[in-house]
A and B are shown apart, each in its own frame.
Chain A
């Protein structure tokens, strides 16, 4: 599973990354967590507001910080 955090380095993006990190750890699953910094790449993905979170290429959340619990919920449903 590939989880991407899209954001240009704002504090909210960092928070999203941390929450995703914790969610993966607590679920004890195998997942690759990557950051997408480039604003052109972010726009290409159809994201207009950062931070955004994508699971396996699909944008799940954009424009807000998803909580750890929320990310866990999303990962379980995959």
Chain B
């Protein structure tokens, strides 16, 4: 019995540490922990080999960060009580905006869990503003997105993604709360305010650790197939998209504007946006245009807008989506102006 208890605690912890080690080790030694497969000019491979080479290369580089992201997602989801967190949102105050933006990255690792929490924040009594802030911050700057932006692209861009998403999500939330249609929705939910999060039976500590594996496995099942499929498309883009087009359209001020705007129609499943951006950067996209895309695409993606519109109506959705594109473009322009680079 004792042995079983320790296995349940040690295995998930070991996997988390292994994932972390694959990220930290290369930073210290300059060498990857496990061999990395490198491809040459993608165009020179036969067409059918391109996605295989591409996925294989990323698999050899990204398995560790993926493992870390999934396990960390599992630990956050299991050990941070969302019900307790809701207590922070029980009154209307400006502080709620910062709490919503700060908690969003750890609150949820998957967009499917967002809508109940979004509704929950409004019903807890915080109003529509912080709920919108949460909704925008979660997909643009969740832990998985940030780990991967940092690992695959660069830590500077990852940091910029967090900072600009944070400020942008708060400003957009505040603006939506001021609109007449936003206030109308809020009144509807405030009638239900004061509903406390349900009290849930606590699990034993070893079961909590073990539960992280279930959450991580579930996340992997949901993310990996779409990621693999997304990489097939991205591999062809990297192989065949002419550099001249990317260099012409996705650089400079107009590149930033285009980067912010193309995010809406090009819905990319969780994490695929990072690899897609990396491919475009390899082809010559400027870092500032990449930042605009990385902020705009997840904030104003069509599937999440469809889901949210059922809860708050189209007017609110279109307002925040339009503002998100503006924020994405402004962020890109600031990054361009600062001249930070990759």
Give the dominant DSSP class at B's interface: helix
Let me know if A48 and B83 touch, CB within 8 A. Answer: yes
Interfacial chain B residues near A39, Cβ < 8 Å: 115-116, 119, 310-311
Q: How far is the CB of A43 from chain B (nearest CB, A)?
A: 4
Interfacial chain A residues near B82, Cβ < 8 Å: 48-49, 63
Interfacial chain A residues near B214, Cβ < 8 Å: 64-65
Let me know if A48 and B311 touch, CB within 8 A. Answer: no
Task: Assess whether B338 is interfacial by the CB under 8 Å rule.
Answer: no
Interfacial chain A residues near B215, Cβ < 8 Å: 64
Task: Assess whether A62 is interfacial by the CB under 8 Å rule.
Answer: yes
Let me know if A46 and B119 touch, CB within 8 A. Answer: no
Interfacial chain A residues near B117, Cβ < 8 Å: 48-49
Expressed in whole angstroms, the Cα–Cα distance for A39 and B306 within the complex equals: 14
9-residue interface stretch from B190-198, B278-286, B290-298, B329-337 = B190-198
- A23-45 CB contact bits vs B (8 Å, 1 = yes)? 00000000000000001101111
Task: Assess whether B218 is interfacial by the CB under 8 Å rule.
Answer: yes
* The one of B77, B116, B201 that contacts A43, using a Cβ cutoff of 8 Å: B116
Let me know if A61 and B201 touch, CB within 8 A. Answer: yes
Number of residues of chain B lying within 8 A (CB) of chain A: 26
Let me know if B195 and A59 touch, CB within 8 A. Answer: no
| Closest residue on chain B to residue A61 by CB atoms | B200
Expressed in whole angstroms, the Cα–Cα distance for A43 and B312 within the complex equals: 14
Task: Assess whether A14 is interfacial by the CB under 8 Å rule.
Answer: no
Interfacial chain A residues near B86, Cβ < 8 Å: 48
Let me know if B198 and A49 touch, CB within 8 A. Answer: no
Expressed in whole angstroms, the Cα–Cα distance for A49 and B112 within the complex equals: 10
Let me know if A46 and B116 touch, CB within 8 A. Answer: no
> Most B CB atoms within 10 A — which of A10, A42, A48?
A48
Let me know if B112 and A10 touch, CB within 8 A. Answer: yes
- B71-84 CB contact bits vs A (8 Å, 1 = yes)? 00000010000110
Expressed in whole angstroms, the Cα–Cα distance for A43 and B219 within the complex equals: 22
Q: How far is the CB of B113 from chain A (nearest CB, A)?
A: 6
Let me know if A62 and B198 touch, CB within 8 A. Answer: yes
Expressed in whole angstroms, the Cα–Cα distance for A30 and B218 within the complex equals: 33
Let me know if A48 and B120 touch, CB within 8 A. Answer: yes
Let me know if A48 and B200 touch, CB within 8 A. Answer: no
Let me know if A48 and B195 touch, CB within 8 A. Answer: no
With contacts A40-B311, A64-B215 taken as known, whether A48 is within 8 angstroms of B116 at the C-beta atoms is yes
Q: How far is the CB of B37 from chain A (nearest CB, A)?
A: 33
Binding site for A on B (CB under 8 A): 77, 82-83, 86, 112-113, 115-117, 119-120, 123, 192, 195-201, 211, 214-215, 218, 310-311
Binding site for B on A (CB under 8 A): 10, 12, 39-40, 42-50, 52, 59-65
Q: Which 8 A-B pairs have the closest CB atoms?
A: A59-B198, A46-B198, A43-B119, A48-B82, A46-B197, A48-B120, A48-B117, A62-B200
Offer 8 A-B interface pairs, CB within 8 angstroms, sorted by A: A10-B112, A40-B119, A42-B116, A44-B195, A47-B198, A48-B86, A49-B77, A50-B113
